[in-house]
């Protein structure tokens, strides 16, 4: 119920925001064409509006109604920039790359981040904690696109260890062959690292703080009085309790990872949905922007739903109903 409400609200915002930007897609296109030396009659411009199915003179709620009707028919519209390709086709083409990038980045940051945070709390005030915690605090405040820039300049441009752009090199043929897979991994390492390193800092800090709180609870004192070793308490006893808030954190951070991914993909010219959205926004491609935002919204809602389900499964105090 709440999920549906959130979804509709997100849809409304997604729909309104691009229309608040100055200009519109036809104007952008017309400007581009005039700059390229074409002369356009007012009839030709009118024809373009009709072609794109966009009428700025209609009230915005009528436009929204039309959009919802089309959406319910599974029609996300046609892209203006990549005309005549449909938005669903473009997204279907790009989405796997982003899922690949983001899921690996989240996995390689959340899993180690959680464990590092756990042990940092277990060894509170020890050297490990007093070095790692401030360092990771610092790292987590670095914008990931900036880190991406540094990686690009240092590893790709100067050292030439990693490629500068793309998802795979054009010398390999896409398919289930080793050369292609290696090329994909080679291209993905830098974007994944710039996403993962920054995200990990946040996970570590969050896990550490939750864990420190749990370690201060009386039941941990009791467990120690029962003879459980500190190691065992950190690993299994208190660790499981501290894990719960970190799962919520994971779901919440999905939004940030997707958001950061737009810039990181743009920097690395990675053919994912983030880069596509940057192109769509600069070209005022309303239907493409809407389609991509819709996917982002769905992804984040699904992540939250999964976190809720997981939470209910792990925490006996939470039930689904």
Q: What residue ranges bind other proteins (CB under 8 A)?
A: 217-219, 221-228, 237, 240-241, 244, 314-317
Buried b (16+ CB within 10 A) or exposed e, 49-88: eeebebeeeeeeeebbeebeeebeeeebbbbbbbeeebbb
Rounded alpha-carbon distances, angstroms, from residue 114 to 55, 134, 203, 312: 51, 16, 6, 20
Q: How far is the CB of 102 from other proteins (least distance, A)?
A: 30
Q: How far is the CB of 221 from other proteins (least distance, A)?
A: 6
Select 195 or 214, whichever has its Cβ closest to other proteins. Answer: 214
Q: How far is the CB of 314 from other proteins (least distance, A)?
A: 8
Select 154 or 219, whichever has its Cβ closest to other proteins. Answer: 219
Select 182 or 314, whichever has its Cβ closest to other proteins. Answer: 314
Select 179 or 314, whichever has its Cβ closest to other proteins. Answer: 314
Q: How far is the CB of 272 from other proteins (least distance, A)?
A: 38
Select 66 or 217, whichever has its Cβ closest to other proteins. Answer: 217
Alpha helices in the chain (DSSP H): 2-20, 25-35, 42-52, 60-72, 87-122, 127-140, 144-151, 178-215, 218-225, 230-232, 238-267, 273-282, 286-314
Strand partners, 78: 86
User: What token pair was written down for 320?
Assistant: 């689904």
Q: How far is the CB of 230 from other proteins (least distance, A)?
A: 12
């Amino acid at each position: 119920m709440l999920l549906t409400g959130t979804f509709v609200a997100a849809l409304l915002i997604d729909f309104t925001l691009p229309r608040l930007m100055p200009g519109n897609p036809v104007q952008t296109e017309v400007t581009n064409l005039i700059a390229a030396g074409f002369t356009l009659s007012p009839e030709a411009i009118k024809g373009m509006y009709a072609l794109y199915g966009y009428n700025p003179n209609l009230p915005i709620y009528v436009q929204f109604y039309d959009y919802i009707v089309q959406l319910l028919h599974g029609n996300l519209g046609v892209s203006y920039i990549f005309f005549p390709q449909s938005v669903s086709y473009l997204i279907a083409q790009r989405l796997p790359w982003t899922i690949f990038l983001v899921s690996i980045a989240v996995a390689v940051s959340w899993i180690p981040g959680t464990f590092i945070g756990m042990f940092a709390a277990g060894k509170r005030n020890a050297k490990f904690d007093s070095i790692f915690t401030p360092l990771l605090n610092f790292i987590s405040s670095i914008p990931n696109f900036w880190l991406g820039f540094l990686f690009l300049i240092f590893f790709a441009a100067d050292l030439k260890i990693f490629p500068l752009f793309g998802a795979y090199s054009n010398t390999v043929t896409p398919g289930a062959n080793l050369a292609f897979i290696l090329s994909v991994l080679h291209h993905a390492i830098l974007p994944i690292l710039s996403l993962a390193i920054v995200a990990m800092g946040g996970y570590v800090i969050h896990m550490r703080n939750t864990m420190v709180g749990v370690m201060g609870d009386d039941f941990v004192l009791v467990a120690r009085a029962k003879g459980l070793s500190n190691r065992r308490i950190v690993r299994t006893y208190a660790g499981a309790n501290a894990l719960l808030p970190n799962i919520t954190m994971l779901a919440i951070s999905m939004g940030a990872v997707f958001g950061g991914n737009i810039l990181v993909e743009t920097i690395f010219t990675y053919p994912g949905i983030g880069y596509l959205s940057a192109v769509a926004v600069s070209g005022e491609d309303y239907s493409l922007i809407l389609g991509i935002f819709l996917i982002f919204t769905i992804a984040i809602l699904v992540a939250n739903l999964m976190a809720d389900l997981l939470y209910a499964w792990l925490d006996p105090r939470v039930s689904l109903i």
